Structure 1
Amino acid sequence: MSEAVIALRGVRAELGSRPVLRGIDLTVHRGEVVALLGANGSGKSTVVRTVIGQVPVGAGEVELFGTPRRRFRDWRRVGYVPQRTTAGGGVPATVTEVVTSGRLSRARLGVLRRADHRAVRHALELVGMADRAKDSVDALSGGQHQRVLIARALASEPELLIMDEPMAGVDLASQEVLARTLERQVASGATVLLVLHELGPLEPLIDRAVVLRDGLVVHDGPPPKAVGEHALPGHDHVHPHDDVHPHGAAAGTGPTRTGLLS
């Protein structure tokens, strides 16, 4: 088995006084692409925010590249794309300036060298935004904003890429660009952990799906075949208003599997 890039063991976490993670065990090995799925409030985003240190761990252990997170310092190895937000954070900035900020962890004494500028240009090319390099991020569409955020994460040439709902609210064309970008990262050996609403164009890349429910892992294995509103393990619900069930079964003859992903 390859190196564990992310390891959570018995992780518990609270937001305010509300328990959100209630004993999560999760290991992501080098080169894997793992999708976190689950309903609203299941704990998906809290898992990734716990991994990167934004949410404190109440119990259990989190390790990155074999090092306890509390002692981990080599953050240039990690690229993080948060839930959809304004790329410039409300501050006037160009596309290049935003993406360059993701390279600073590798810059020597904060001074960008030729290799750093090349990495920024390459990141913009990967997400199809090189032609908008000098534009203000305020002039971008939602899908373009998301591409810039991903380019910012890629600029540091990370070994581990963590993405929280990268496809949410993004048009199909941008989804396809992001899928191709991620495919290149995976081909180069990157490890990826994604929070997803649905697999969409990323489905061929996903090695494992980890489904959360009420802060617990209820499935860890091959992705459910038809991920969407009706296909999460452990979510059985009868729809009395349905006229016909999947596969042609008459209404009332059995439950349909329902699991809202978000």
Structure 2
Amino acid sequence: MDWLQIFVLAIVQGLTEFLPISSSAHLILVPIFSDWNDQGLAFDVALHIGSLSAVVIYFRHELVGMTTSWCCSVARRGTDEDARLAWWVILATIPVGLAGLAFKDSIEGIMRSPLVIAAGLIVFGLLLAYADWRHRGTRDEYHLYWQDALWVGLAQTLALIPGTSRSGITMTAGLLLGLSREASARFSFLLSIPVIVLAGGLEIIGLASAPGPVDWRTLILGALLSGISAFLCIHFFLLFIRRIGMQPFVVYRLMLGVALIWLFGGSPS
């Protein structure tokens, strides 16, 4: 891999992992529009480690409180809002974990088609637009009920379809359930932690079964660039949606979806 490929793939992963525009779609499309060889499983793992590090560092204070309170709740020492939030993150992760194992082969096959990506971008982009345009609630992530967490978790399974966007569909569900924009985004980001861990774990298993030479410099640089871009993305996205909302991302999704239909509409792939 050359320096340009490392930079582009790392920045794309870091930015799109948390923006409601579908990271999987962009990482699938980059090779389509370039003549680069596949970056390899080890580099994918490194990019996920970078994104995971960014969200853990950004929410480190919340995670410490959630973990401590959750452990106390397991020991039956009482349940507070931090413990409940931790339980809701776990609950919302179960559906996507089960769906990922059940439909992994289908997702890696025909569902990586540019036209499937285009459909996901447009359909779920319009749903995000509706959720953001309608009257919004004011609840924060600490005032979720278990039913809310389950609905968000079920919605998250749709992110297995390329083009949907895990962050986009979970934010959409949060908005429809009466969360504020910031709360929807923050809960989505917290949900990304176990999802990235699960996805990265599957990749590591695959990597372990196909050993080979390791280019540590490439992996470290990719993880570092992915982590920095992801951290900045989280910080500025939360500031951005408070003032402007989701509509610019909806417009981007629609434009990209239409462009893909125009480019690949006559092609069976």
Structure-2-length-normalised TM-score: 0.27
In proportion to residue count, which structure has more helix? 2
In proportion to residue count, which structure has more strand? 1
Task: Answer with 1 or 2: which has the greater Rg.
Answer: 1
Structure-1-length-normalised TM-score: 0.27
